[in-house]
Chain A
Amino acid sequence: MAERSFVKEVQKLRLGAGETFHGEGILAITKALLQCGVGYVGGYQGAPISHLMDVLADAQDILGELGVHFEASASEATATAMLAASVHYPIRGACTFKSSVGLNVASDALANLASGGVTGGALIIVGEDYGEGSSIMQERSHPFAMKSQVWLLDPRPNLPSIVKAVEDGFELSEASNTPVMLMVRIRSCHVTGSFETKENKRPGMTVADALENPRRDTNRIVLPPASFLHEKEKVEKRMPAAVDFIRSRRINEFFGPDRGKAGIILQGGMYNSVIRALQRIGLADVYGETDVPLYVLNAVYPLIDDEVIDFCADKDSILIVEEGQPNYLEQAIASLMHKKGLDTRILGKDILPMAGEYTGQVMLDGISAYLRANAPELLAAQVLAPNASGENTLAADLAKVVPGRPPGFCTGCPERPIFAATKLIEKELGPHHISSDIGCHLFSIMPPFELGATTMGYGLGPASASAFNSPDAKRRSISFVGDGGFWHNGLTSSIGNAVFNQNDGVIVVVDNFYSAATGGQDVLSSRADNPTKSTQHPITDAVKGMGVKWVRHIDRTYDVTKVRAALREALTTEEKGPKVIVASSECMLNRQRREKPQTAKAISGGERVVKPRFGVDEDVCTGDHACMRLSGCPSLSVKKLDDPLRDDPVASIDHTCVGCGNCGEVADAAVLCPSFYRADVVHNPGSWDRFADRLRRRVTGFLQTRREKRRLTFGEA
């Protein structure tokens, strides 16, 4: 069950012709797919298109009604390979995943798909996770399109443009027999807006029709001699067809005056930022009417040479706004100018930064600088010679004060105790080489845990420790992999590899019942019943099936002492081969989402419910914060006491505590102070509860009063 439910919103997918859709970018994309008569959709979750997968999962009724097949693919490679259904059959298919990590995984399938080409329109929707808030390495999707020769659309970031790009994409794919990539940047996935809808279309041919009437064509299969022909076909037939389509359908757009000394060529996705910069220097209005000629590339690959030449021919100079590096567009356009003998100056990364996000300030600075140097007559005096330095003088003062706030484990996260145990075992046995993996558990590299040396890719944690397998060393490596990564790639690339190569290291599979980092989607080992998926396949069985002999399963990660004992045994046992510990506890975010309404209902329904929460006795706590160095839980924080004798703040647990038990377990395992207590509040207690409570309180009350009557007790006056 995913973290966010779109059950209500997906009803918008039923809108008919001429109605207006209001909502988020990802939902608009789904609606566009249905309007295009898509026959099947697959994908793999990951920001920013996790929610697109969730929308599709929640829309399965609607998809079913239209005869559209949907599946949550095992990986991005699977999702892309799925598009093979469009190779021989005129069925439109789409898949979606996070880029560029997804494209790395998918590139084998992408290359094969692109080589043979497609009959039905094939659309790969990649969610770009570039710039602020990104959780991945910063690379571009552009070269994947270039190397496999598939076409890349980068539409202007508003809903009508994105919806149109989906429609254009399918047609372009069919017109050129080539898969098309549609890239949506992270903010445009979550941008809100509206567009006029069309009727949903049933696919002309469904996957069922295709299964009933199989077809094949040897020429479309990647094997010599066909593969040599594909190479030629790409440049001789498919590329020209694509160029014709993009030109004739006016996929790219021109704004502003027809002629001018200076102009800007930009990726579609950068359009709003460019307009904003022009607005701020007085060269565009609120509606995007601009004094500077703009050539907006909604299709960034392939380039339409004559459009480029036409735009550049009368201009002294051109600024290319192309986010990320290398500067493929700039290189291609500069080379084109050279070949055509044009002397238009092509500027780009010499004015704008080579790397990094093109934020509002970067655009403002870059475009102002470009126009000041190349078209000063357009600019008002103030822009020409600004008075303000633009320096933020307060920043330096605050930089010393404001703490960094990177993302971390949630309140009650079951992964925290695993890393607390790891930190404790390192105190006991010394530091180890630790390989991390992709997923929430990667937060272990941050304070307070500071564990883990590398992260090499999804499911590749243990694989990235594979070199550390030496009989000469007395120490073993430790590697982590999440359940998401385990099923994505880890079972073969990591576990299988470790078995085959007789790796002696320790592998911890962090199993939280979901692909949690991407928003809580189900995976094979999820414990919940999923009406459309097969779940409850234990990781331990898979690991044993792969040939691992030493397997330990911990079914409650909060038991820090037990996790530490398992780690100790794994690190010291005489047994050879990989030592796999599967540490399982449900993702607290998902658990709360599931249990909270149930608990509230049970309480109001008069059922006996015990709700745990932790507290700290502030007069017992000495303010050494040892507990926080083993936890980092958001609900466990510091508090300054109104006591002049105490210099340091004490621990304090706020009302957001979910009573996971980690505080007590850590205090126990690490032998910390006795200031933690767990308060279990019994709602709707039974008569025995009440009787016992009355009796106990009477006796304890008597003892307390007896002692307190004979001594001094202090309070505030």
Chain B
Amino acid sequence: MKANEDQKIIKLAILAVGGQGGGVLTNWITDVAERNGYLAQATSVAGVAQRTGATIYYVEMCPDTGRRPVFSLAPAQGDIDILIAAELMEAGRAVMRGFVTPDRTTLIASAHRIAAVSEKIEPGDGRADSPTVHKNAREAASRYICFDMEKVAVEAGSVISSSLFGALAGSGALPFARESYEETIEASGRGVKASLAAFGKAFERTVAGEDASASVQDAPRAGQGIAVAGPERLVAAWNALAARADAYPEPVRAMALAGLRKVVDYQDLAYGAEYLDRLDQALALDSAGKDHALGEAAAKHVANAMCYEDILRVADLKTRTARAERIRKEMKVGDANVLQVTEFFHPRVEEFCGTLPTGLGRFIENRPGLSKWVDRRINRGRRIRTDSLFGFGALWVIGTLRPWRRSLLRHQVEKEHLDRWYALALDTARRDYGLAVEILNCRRLIKGYSDTHARGHSKFDRVLSGLTLLEGREDAADWLRRLREAALKDEKGEMLDGALKTVATLEAA
């Protein structure tokens, strides 16, 4: 038996997303090992072009006894002592690939997310489920160290390799002193101060044993802590409306307050009252035994439906003080800098007519020749500098149209659609409460502008077209939910078509 017990090779793998600087971290780790009298070997599959894909770096090390050990060039399942994941899903991938085992692996993972393309392109919410990764990672590893190391790095003006290095040092998984890690960073010679700051912060958080994975992000709080400012008369009227919403049962109350705020901010207090009137209709049919699901769904989706996206709203949002301040903060614009902001608009005849008084808008829309003529003059990408007086002024003037919004064509169209949908939901609620809730939730399908908006509408119509097939079935609500979820999966609605076909066969069966 040749396995001499006194010598052990430490095996460390780094899973990162291409472009995260895994190479720098690898060099640091071999450097710190060599500083401590170890022999170390690093390998990577550089894949020169593979910028944003998942990559693995691998390091082996053992004390230098004067003899040359045989190191492996690639990580093997069940044979890793330390695994560093530079992104949360990469930690999941490491577990999946068998690189994390409970008998020995210290798993150091950054809790932040870099969304993969597949997560971004879904019309709905395609983001991967982080808690599942945390759960499995904790189960798979001998020790699980996880917090947002990207944030630690960015706050220190550094990059994630520094904070990962700090967490590695802090974990004590390698038998090296903190100072030798810091010497390594100092010797690297670039951005040393920021790197050391990020390193130190991550080191301390690791030693303190903070576990970000436990405090999984809570669901957003609804309607709490709204601060309102403005003329006294308006504030008093707001308070009266808010009191009305406050009297609703939970969880409708919280959602209604958020909705009320959105609607009033969008138009005015009268619009807010209109919103609450609509909600009252749903609440009249609601049931505490069903957790007020109908009221809550109505509170959410009626608010969204009433705040349709039009040019007035965009112009209003883009000319606010808060927005200017937010951009300056996000772009780190100091007093010594000047900020220029360019907006990208692409109006078409549809948007133009929507912003005209109903009669005039309809007049143009009903005449294809005229409509085309207008479109030719309007339909063009326009870049507007909102830091310039002209550009800002133009948007500000559009914003002054707000009081007349109710008389514009777009409002008529949206209102008719809303009334039809809401009436359908409330009418259904009398027969099938669950189905009504799902009808309300279908509003989620309508979003975006121009083509995207049209496609959203078409999906909405197609999903609701399933109603005739489902009506009367016990599991109608469940099926409608499935149809909606399918519609949110892809752009063209291919999943939805498949789901609708299934629903059609249900009926036949």
Report which A residues bind B (CB closer than 8 A).
3, 47-48, 50-51, 132-133, 135, 157-158, 185-188, 190-193, 271-273, 275-276, 279-280, 282-291, 359-361, 363-364, 380, 390, 392, 394-395, 397-411, 439-440, 446-448, 516-519, 561, 589, 610, 613, 615, 617, 619-620, 622-626, 628-629, 632, 634, 636-638, 640-645, 647-649, 655, 664, 667-674, 676-685, 689-690, 693, 695-696, 699-701, 703-705, 707-717
Which of B49, B125, B336 is in CB contact (< 8 Å) with A648? B125
B52 touches A408 (CB 8 A): yes
A648 touches B129 (CB 8 A): no
Which of A157, A279, A364 is in CB contact (< 8 Å) with B73? A157
Nearest-CB residue, chain B, relative to A675: B314
B79 touches A280 (CB 8 A): yes
Which of A613, A620, A628 is in CB contact (< 8 Å) with B120? A628
How far does the Cβ of A443 sit from chain B's closest Cβ, in whole Å? 9
* Complex interface: chain A residues within 8 A of B154 (CB): 655
Nearest-CB residue, chain B, relative to A160: B68
How far does the Cβ of B66 sit from chain A's closest Cβ, in whole Å? 10
Given contacts A642-B221, A682-B340, contact A407 B49 (CB under 8 A): yes
Q: What are 5 A-B residue pairs whose CB atoms fall within 8 Å in the complex?
A: A187-B44, A403-B119, A624-B452, A644-B300, A678-B341
Flag the segment in B254-262, B277-285, B363-371 that touches A: B254-262
How far does the Cβ of A488 sit from chain B's closest Cβ, in whole Å? 15
B343 touches A674 (CB 8 A): yes
* Complex interface: chain B residues within 8 A of A290 (CB): 2
A708 touches B321 (CB 8 A): yes
Question: Could you list 13 further interchain pairs (A-B, Cβ under 8 angstroms) beyond the known A626-B491, A674-B314?
Answer: A47-B48, A158-B68, A186-B45, A187-B45, A284-B2, A380-B1, A447-B121, A448-B121, A634-B52, A673-B449, A674-B343, A679-B340, A685-B337
Report the number of A-B residue pairs with Cβ-Cβ less than 8 Å.
433
* Complex interface: chain A residues within 8 A of B114 (CB): 634, 637
Given contacts A664-B342, A712-B264, contact A402 B92 (CB under 8 A): yes
Given contacts A47-B48, A632-B120, contact A677 B73 (CB under 8 A): no
* Complex interface: chain A residues within 8 A of B417 (CB): none
Which of B77, B89, B337, B448 is in CB contact (< 8 Å) with A682? B337
Flag the segment in B344-352, B423-431, B432-440, B460-468 that touches A: B344-352
CA distance A612 to B30 in the complex (A): 38
A696 touches B389 (CB 8 A): yes
How far does the Cβ of A655 sit from chain B's closest Cβ, in whole Å? 7
B448 touches A622 (CB 8 A): yes
B331 touches A561 (CB 8 A): no
Given contacts A282-B3, A629-B121, A644-B220, contact A714 B55 (CB under 8 A): no
A679 touches B95 (CB 8 A): no
Given contacts A398-B133, A703-B396, contact A717 B225 (CB under 8 A): yes
A664 touches B344 (CB 8 A): yes
* Complex interface: chain B residues within 8 A of A668 (CB): 344, 346, 381
How far does the Cβ of B300 sit from chain A's closest Cβ, in whole Å? 5
Which of B18, B238, B255, B323 is in CB contact (< 8 Å) with A712? B238
| Interface positions of B from 214 to 252, Cβ below 8 Å from A | 217, 219-231, 234-235, 238
Q: Does B339 contact A (CB under 8 A)?
A: yes
CA distance A363 to B77 in the complex (A): 11
Q: Mark B98-137, 1 if CB is under 8 A from A, else 0.
A: 1000000000000000111111111111111100110010
B343 touches A135 (CB 8 A): no
How far does the Cβ of B177 sit from chain A's closest Cβ, in whole Å? 23
Report which B residues bind A (CB closer than 8 A).
1-4, 7-9, 17-19, 30, 40-56, 62, 67-79, 89-90, 92-93, 95-98, 114-129, 132-133, 136, 139-140, 154, 217, 219-231, 234-235, 238, 254-255, 258-259, 261-262, 264-265, 269, 300, 303-304, 309, 313-314, 317-324, 327, 330-333, 336-346, 348, 381, 383, 386-389, 392-393, 396, 399, 444, 447-452, 456, 488, 491
* Complex interface: chain A residues within 8 A of B4 (CB): 285-286
* Complex interface: chain B residues within 8 A of A644 (CB): 219-223, 254-255, 258, 300
A397, A398, A407: most-surrounded residue (chain B CB, <10 A): A398
Which of A191, A361, A517, A645 is in CB contact (< 8 Å) with B48? A517
How far does the Cβ of A52 sit from chain B's closest Cβ, in whole Å? 12
CA distance A219 to B299 in the complex (A): 92
Given contacts A624-B447, A628-B121, A669-B381, contact A191 B41 (CB under 8 A): yes
* Complex interface: chain A residues within 8 A of B259 (CB): 645
A135 touches B50 (CB 8 A): yes
B116 touches A405 (CB 8 A): yes
* Complex interface: chain A residues within 8 A of B136 (CB): 394, 397-398
A671, A674, A681, A705: most-surrounded residue (chain B CB, <10 A): A674
A404 touches B116 (CB 8 A): yes
CA distance A714 to B8 in the complex (A): 62
How far does the Cβ of B285 sit from chain A's closest Cβ, in whole Å? 21
A360 touches B133 (CB 8 A): no
* Complex interface: chain A residues within 8 A of B53 (CB): 405-408
How far does the Cβ of A89 sit from chain B's closest Cβ, in whole Å? 34
Which of B30, B72, B129, B448 is in CB contact (< 8 Å) with A192? B30
* Complex interface: chain B residues within 8 A of A615 (CB): 327, 330-331
* Complex interface: chain B residues within 8 A of A132 (CB): 45, 56, 74
B337 touches A190 (CB 8 A): no
Nearest-CB residue, chain A, relative to B315: A674
CA distance A613 to B224 in the complex (A): 33
A286 touches B70 (CB 8 A): yes
Given contacts A272-B73, A360-B74, contact A696 B388 (CB under 8 A): yes
CA distance A634 to B386 in the complex (A): 27
CA distance A704 to B139 in the complex (A): 54
B230 touches A712 (CB 8 A): yes
* Complex interface: chain A residues within 8 A of B124 (CB): 647-648
CA distance A389 to B93 in the complex (A): 21
A704 touches B258 (CB 8 A): no
Nearest-CB residue, chain A, relative to B4: A285
A291 touches B264 (CB 8 A): no
* Complex interface: chain B residues within 8 A of A47 (CB): 46-49
Nearest-CB residue, chain B, relative to A256: B2
Given contacts A398-B132, A401-B129, contact A629 B338 (CB under 8 A): no
* Complex interface: chain B residues within 8 A of A285 (CB): 2-4, 7
Nearest-CB residue, chain B, relative to A22: B34
How far does the Cβ of A288 sit from chain B's closest Cβ, in whole Å? 4
CA distance A385 to B76 in the complex (A): 21
B229 touches A713 (CB 8 A): yes
A401 touches B221 (CB 8 A): no
B118 touches A403 (CB 8 A): yes
Given contacts A133-B45, A398-B133, A405-B89, contact A287 B67 (CB under 8 A): yes
Which of A193, A400, A402 is in CB contact (< 8 Å) with B41? A193
7 residue pairs, one from A and one from B, having the closest CB atoms? A360-B76, A407-B53, A668-B381, A133-B45, A407-B50, A717-B225, A624-B448
How far does the Cβ of A64 sit from chain B's closest Cβ, in whole Å? 26
* Complex interface: chain B residues within 8 A of A655 (CB): 154
* Complex interface: chain A residues within 8 A of B120 (CB): 448, 625, 628, 632, 636-638
* Complex interface: chain A residues within 8 A of B125 (CB): 638, 640, 647-649
Given contacts A3-B48, A291-B2, A645-B258, contact A401 B77 (CB under 8 A): no
Given contacts A157-B73, A286-B70, contact A394 B139 (CB under 8 A): yes
Which of B2, B43, B129, B393 is in CB contact (< 8 Å) with A289? B2
How far does the Cβ of B333 sit from chain A's closest Cβ, in whole Å? 6
B47 touches A671 (CB 8 A): no
* Complex interface: chain A residues within 8 A of B324 (CB): 700, 704
How far does the Cβ of B221 sit from chain A's closest Cβ, in whole Å? 7
B70, B128, B220, B229: most-surrounded residue (chain A CB, <10 A): B70
Nearest-CB residue, chain A, relative to B130: A401
B447 touches A623 (CB 8 A): yes
A51, A561, A696, A712: most-surrounded residue (chain B CB, <10 A): A712
* Complex interface: chain B residues within 8 A of A680 (CB): 339-342
Nearest-CB residue, chain A, relative to B490: A629
B339 touches A360 (CB 8 A): no
